């Protein structure tokens, strides 16, 4: 198990934004993963996707690592941010913009504003 924990920590440490998800950013394989990847893609956030379906050890390992029971899981600059519901709420409230700005992660502010306008 410590090998999996080390692999997960290395992924988080070596990428500014990491999304542990079912499927890939190009082809999500569950609605929740699709929503979060869609938001990040739409906002032009550069992120590393990790397909937990391709590795059962990582699929369980990330849940143990974060002490969070569900996938997807988003990490920004080493910090666990949350899953689909939290990312959706943060996007709509503008908190995700603020987090990305504070952490020095590039994103398309106009696209983020469009998401909020469409959901107002």
Average pLDDT over residues 82-97: 97
Burial of 111 (0-12, 13-18, 19+ CB in 10 A): middle
pLDDT in tens, 13-32: 999 999 999 999 999 999 99
Q: Write out the E strands in 7-100.
A: 17-21, 48-51, 73-76, 79-82
CATH of the domain at 108: 3.40.30.10
pLDDT band for 2, please (50, 70, 90 cuts): confident
* Domain enclosing residue 99, as ranges: 2-118
Residue 21 confidence (pLDDT): 98
**pTM, full prediction:** 0.96
Q: For the chain, how many structural domains are there in total?
A: 1
The shares of helix, strand and coil residues in the chain, as percent rounded to the nearest 5, are: 55, 15, 30
């Amino acid at each position: 198990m410590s090998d999996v924990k080390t692999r997960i920590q290395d992924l988080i440490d070596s990428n500014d934004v990491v999304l542990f998800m079912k499927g890939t950013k190009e082809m999500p394989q569950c609605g929740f993963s699709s929503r979060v990847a869609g938001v990040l893609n739409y906002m032009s956030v550069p992120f590393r996707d990790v397909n937990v379906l391709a590795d059962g050890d990582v699929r369980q390992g990330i849940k143990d690592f974060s002490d969070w029971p569900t996938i997807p899981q988003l990490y920004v600059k080493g910090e666990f941010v949350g899953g689909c519901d939290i990312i959706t709420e943060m996007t709509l409230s503008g908190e995700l913009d603020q987090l990305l700005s504070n952490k020095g992660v590039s994103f398309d502010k106009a696209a983020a504003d469009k998401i909020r306008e469409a959901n107002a």
